[in-house]
Amino acid sequence: MCPPRTLESMRSPEISRRHLVKFGLGAAALAVALPHGTTHAATVQRTSFRNVADLTHVLGTQFPLFPGSAPFRVQQAVVHDKDGYYGNILNYWEHSGTHMDAPVHFAPNGLYVDQLRVENLVVPAAVINITEKVRRDPDAVVTTDDIRGWERRYGRLPDNAAILMASGWGQRAGSVEAFRNTDGSGVMHFPGFGKEAIDFLLTERRISGIGVDTLSLDHGPSTDFAVHYTLLPTNRWGLENLANLESIPPRGATLFVGAPKIASGSGGPTRVMAVW
């Protein structure tokens, strides 16, 4: 899997923090161990840009959710006319809308969303477009061949890249039926990543995470969620329900992943932007 030193460098402050918490050392010890908390500065590859794209869907009560999810609820708390200011109270499942799957979502010892390092949230984007084969087969997955085909055209995947599947599915997000694409026996049909492609990315390349423009990193018919269970325990992240992936270059964009910084979160609605 991932070289141990990479994992170690991705995890070390978090490991020590959890270790301290687990063994009952209090806030003072934490302050010593983590003088800057997780809000530290980090160096990323220098980039200049002229274009920006929003890869985020609008999240509202109508946005398609994975079946069985708690509904997205909005309660108007105060309004201008009556209260002089405006604000809402939200109640939602963390995996709603364009959102982050933090490692802990499928890995008991994985990082919580607030523990992700900023240098793993500002990363090169590699967009693998499988729209053509998805037209023929909605259950199609990103394969190792697709990745190798991308590399033949655009060069080797950059280190720390986010590997993003563009399948054209994002255009269906306005309809729950079209986005889930459920058949008569209740099985969903939409594209995702294949497990062998994830194995390749984890052993042969160095990635920060993956993203899809569908409801799940695994394709619709999956019952074992092999991609989630393979990727997330390595402390890489996943992004689901991305928008507009066709609008950014296959190589050369930088992704800004605005994951929420909520204590012990398993992920959450995320503003994702690309610049190039």
Query: What's the token pair of residue 116?
Result: 């992700």
Nearer to Zn ion, 158 or 170 (CB): 170
Closest approach of Cβ 79 to Zn ion, in Å? Answer: 32
Q: Does residue 101 interact with Zn ion by CB under 5 A? A: yes
Closest approach of Cβ 95 to Zn ion, in Å? Answer: 3
Closest approach of Cβ 69 to Zn ion, in Å? Answer: 9
| Residue 206 CB partners (closer than 8 Å, separation 6+) | 2, 6, 159, 160
Question: From the list 11, 57, 95, 251, which residue makes contact with Zn ion (rule: CB under 5 A)?
Answer: 95
Nearer to Zn ion, 63 or 150 (CB): 63
Q: Does residue 11 interact with Zn ion by CB under 5 A? A: no
Q: Does residue 218 interact with Zn ion by CB under 5 A? A: no
Residue 187: how many other CB atoms lie within 10 Å: 13
- Residue, CB closest to Zn ion: 95
N-term to C-term CA, the chain: 31
Question: Which of these, 191, 202, 268, 195, lies nearest to 234 by C-alpha position?
Answer: 202
Nearer to Zn ion, 125 or 215 (CB): 215
Give the β-pairing of 237-240 and 207-212.
parallel
Report residue 9 CA to chain centroid gap. 20
Nearer to Zn ion, 121 or 157 (CB): 121
Contact set with Zn ion (CB under 5 A): 95, 101, 240
